[in-house]
Structure 1
Amino acid sequence: MLDTIAPAHTSLYRYLDEMEPWSDHLQVLECIWVHEEAPDVRTFAFRSDSQTWFRYKPGQFLTLELPVGDEPVMRTYTLSSSPSRPFSISVTVKAQASSIGTRWMFDNLVPGMHLKAYGPAGGFSIYDYPAAKYFFLSAGSGITPMMSMLRWLNDCSPLSDIAFVNCARRPEDIIFRSELELIASRLPAMSLGFLVEERTRNVSWFGPTGRIDLTRLAMLVPDYQEREIFCCGPEPFMRAVRTLLEAGGFDMDSYHEESFGAGPIEPVPAPIAEASDGLLPSEPPDVQTVPVTFAFSEVEAEAMPGQTLLQTARASGVRIPAACELGLCGTCKVKAEGPINMNHNGGILDDEIAEGYVLACCSTPVGPVSVEA
């Protein structure tokens, strides 16, 4: 596959201090190039449609709204780009056999197309856990947040002590291999290791083989006990890493992982009381609901006890975009007025809360509420 790149326009050039940061409330993204990284792995790069720059922490993610069918689907991807290069961002994605959103990107997304995006968000970053020595351990496409952090360190802190290990099924499946080898050749305190499960005839391989265990871990990074570890990959891989680190006596306070494996919040059903004879009562119980107005949709609704704004919206036929539904990604951010209890996982900033925004997936109305949706 040949790389595809959108044409450049000299009128787009502006100094950074003349530009405002990108805001998911106001702007969308324009795809500017597509690059094939490995089998079924591509990087998609974007710029803002309004000449703004991107401010985020290395290792964070964003959510793309993809027009797959009658209703768009939300897919969350870690940024593989570095905030030290703020004029564009990129995501590197792998298309699995069951992929829906990612397969749509492979088949349809080309330079010049525009997508709505939400974020960035997430706390999986060296920014939140600074250390003297880092260990980035990944498998498959879990390498993407590690590349974001490594690229940032390469640009902004090139004397950092970094151990970087990536595990892959085959040598040809190693993502960013050439770039990793180039960066490692230039950073004086970086060690680079690869571990593949099997050799193939397509690519020569003289490195270690097998699956990660304490013996191979100590061989690749002898001083791993002294490092702040960041791990990302399929859940079985991360579970195996946690198990072997705990068995090796590692201080798990220095272990951090990125995972989107938790399930969505389930709708809260209305309580139904039973009569003393076990039969349903002839009249429904007196349930104290809360009025919710969806202003843009001109819908008046009633939230059941414990129901979130997102659940109330869905029950009323009002669409609020949502991806993780865990208070993490920030996709369901909406403006709301009225008494609300919000318990989130970092998907919203303090200044956004001050402006009246809430995360619909984890905000429960406790009095009359008006929502801009």
Structure 2
Amino acid sequence: MRKDSPKRAQNPIGDLTANADSSLWVDREKLECCSVVPEAPDAATFSFVAPSGNLFKFEPGQFLTLELPVPGGPLYRTYTISSSPSRPLSISVTVKAQKDSIGTRWMLDSLRPGMQIKAIGPAGQFTLDTQNKKKYLFISAGSGVTPTLSMTTYLYDRGTDIDVNIINCARRPGEIIGYQALMAMAARVPTIKLAFIVEEDDPFQVWTGLRGRMNQIMIGIIAGDYLERDIYCCGPEPFMDAVREMLIGLGYDMARYNQESFSAPAEEAEEIPGDDVTPDETAAAQITFSGAGVTADCTETDTILAVARSAGLNIASGCTFGVCGTCKIRKIRGEVHMVHNGGISEDDISEGYILACCSKPVGQVEVDV
């Protein structure tokens, strides 16, 4: 589970990019789509290159926030990177559209090779420990397989003492994302073990794997030594909740459990400044947006992001609860009450940055917007 602040990636690929940091992509440069590969119904992998030819540096499991030019204005959506930093010429995200998707649906319908879009990142703390050799169990469902793809590819390319068990769940065999890529790696490395679990069959196709919903017995059958493994889990929130309950019931050491989520983990929120500061809905506050020359009155329970939008100002935002870090802005003066969920580092906070989505003004505040 993301317990710390998203960070810029350390270099997990050694000498591959050690010669010059100036040759590395930074998010001031747009990404150019170079390929679109269908994965399953309403799912595809989008790969990007840097128009400058710069290489990509990130950690397996980190995410990007894409600025999608949908009709009516840009939309910010956060996606886990599905490619590996061991292949730094390009960077990929694998997306699946839901019934109510707007941004992902635009990508599937409109984003094509040659088009350029803006991105923020990479960031995130749901990352593989690239310094120590460990035994892993990757558990995923649906499009939550994306960090599994990145982490497994990285370990595969690294090629030393790989010991990975993978459990991937899907509704039907035809909806398994990354099936061919995972099969190709497992076919060449005997210590990459794969297990797929589906809830129902595809019509007129044979499925010889496991059926039903994943349970404690399946975990024991697939990875009998799960107590010895570091577990990384990603998928829909109900799925991850169920996995946590299974592992707790099995006596697993949850300090070794890692979970990716773009929903607000309220119980893990970090409060800045101290716990003694409580916003007062009856107390007046004022925010000055110095770049726009706008000053807006509000209360201490209004977020800076909400006040900015009410004033007709656009601050880029993604998750809106302090996880993705998209809405990071610089505070010029004044105090704010910020309760975030890992979307900002202590270094950024010490340099005066805040997250607009979860920062509330205390009295008069000025921000660089």
TM-score bin, normalised by smaller chain: 0.7 to 0.9
Q: In the alignment, is residue 105 of structure 1 matched against residue 102 of structure 2? A: no
Contact 1:340/1:363, CA 8 A, preserved across alignment? no
Q: Distance in 2 between matches of 1:32 and 1:322?
A: 26
Q: Shift of residue 134 of structure 1?
A: 0.5
The correspondence for 1:309, drawn from 304, 309, 334, is 304
The structure 2 residue matched to 1:23, chosen from 16, 23, 26, is 26
Q: Does 1:318 pair with 2:313?
A: yes
Q: Which runs of 5+ in 1 are unaligned?
A: 1-13, 273-286
The residue aligned with 2:7 is: none
Higher relative contact order, chain-length normalized (CA < 8 Å, sep 6+): 2
Taking only aligned residues, the RMSD between alpha carbons, in angstroms, comes to: 2.7
Change (3 A) 1:98 1:307: closer
3-state SS in 1 of match to 2:205: coil
TM-score normalised over the length of structure 1: 0.83
Deviations 1:268-321 (A, max 9, x none): 99735xxxxxxxxxxxxxx4424x321232212234224332233123221101
Is the CA contact 1:121–1:346 (under 8 Å) kept in the aligned structure 2?
A: no
Shift of 1:72: 1.9
Per-residue deviation at 1:54? 2.1
1:247-272, Cα deviation, whole Å (9 max, x unpaired)? 2222222222112233999xx99735
1:125-164 residue pairs with structure 2 within 5 A?
A: 125-127=127-129, 132-164=134-166
Q: Distance in 1 between matches of 2:128 and 2:21?
A: 28
Query: Which has the greater radius of gyration?
Result: 1
Aligned counterparts of 1:16 and 1:152: Cα–Cα separation in 2: 21
Pairing partner for 2:257 from 237, 255, 258 = 255
Q: Which residue of 2 aligns with 1:224?
A: 226
Q: Which residue of 1 aligns with 2:359?
A: 363
**Amino acid of the structure 2 residue aligned with 1:193:** A
Residue 243 of structure 1 aligns to a residue whose secondary structure is helix
| In 2: Cα distance, 1:30 partner to 1:116 partner | 9
1:55-107 CA distances to partner (integer Å, 9 max, x unpaired)? 22111111112122212222111110111222221110112222111111111
Once the two structures are superposed, what CA deviation does each residue of 1:304-360 show, in whole Å capped at 9, x if it has no partner? 224332233123221101111222211102233113444433323455556553322
Residue aligned with 2:101, SS: coil
Question: Aligned pair in 2 of structure 1 residues 187, 109: CA closer, same or farther (>3 Å)?
Answer: same
- Show structure 2 runs of 5+ residues with no match: 1-16, 270-277
Identify if the C-alpha distance between structure 1 residues 157 and 340 changes in structure 2 by more than 3 Å, giving closer, same or farther: farther
Alpha carbons 1:16, 1:53 under 8 Å: kept: no
Aligned pairs for 1:18-167 (under 5 A) are 19-24=22-27, 26-127=28-129, 132-167=134-169
Distance in 2 (CA, whole Å) between partners of 1:210 and 1:328 is 32
Distance 1:263 1:18 in 2: 34
Change in 2 beyond 3 A, CA 1:205/1:16: farther
Aligned-pair CA distance for 1:158:
3.5
Which of 329, 336, 343 is equivalent to 1:347? 343
Which residue in 1 is equivalent to 2:9? none
Residue 5 of structure 2: aligned partner: none
Contact 1:19/1:51 (<8 A) preserved? no
State how 1:221-300 maps to structure 2 within 5 Å.
221-262=223-264, 271=281, 287-290=283-286, 292-300=287-295
1:168–1:121 Cα change, 3 Å: same
Q: Which runs of 4+ in 1 moved over 6 A?
A: none
Give aligned-pair identity as a percent. Answer: 49
Alpha carbons 1:339, 1:366 under 8 Å: kept: yes
8 Å contact 1:119–1:329 — kept in the other structure?
Answer: no
- SS in structure 2 opposite 1:289? strand
Q: Distance in 2 between matches of 1:298 and 1:210?
A: 58
Are 2:141 and 2:169, in contact at CA under 8 Å, matched by a contact in 1?
yes
Query: What secondary structure, in the 3-state scheme, does the structure 2 residue paired with 1:338 have?
Result: strand
Question: What TM-score results when the alignment is normalised by the length of structure 2?
Answer: 0.84
1:129-157 alpha-carbon deviations (Å, 9 max, x no partner): 95621000111111001111111111225
Q: For 2:357 and 2:332, how far apart are their aligned partners in 1? A: 16
Match of 1:210 among 186, 209, 212: 212
Relative distance call for 1:356 and 1:58 in structure 2 (3 A) is same
Pair 129,112 (structure 1): closer, same or farther in 2 beyond 3 Å: same
Distance 1:167 1:83, change over 3 A: same
| Contact 2:144–2:234 (CA under 8 A) maintained in structure 1 | yes
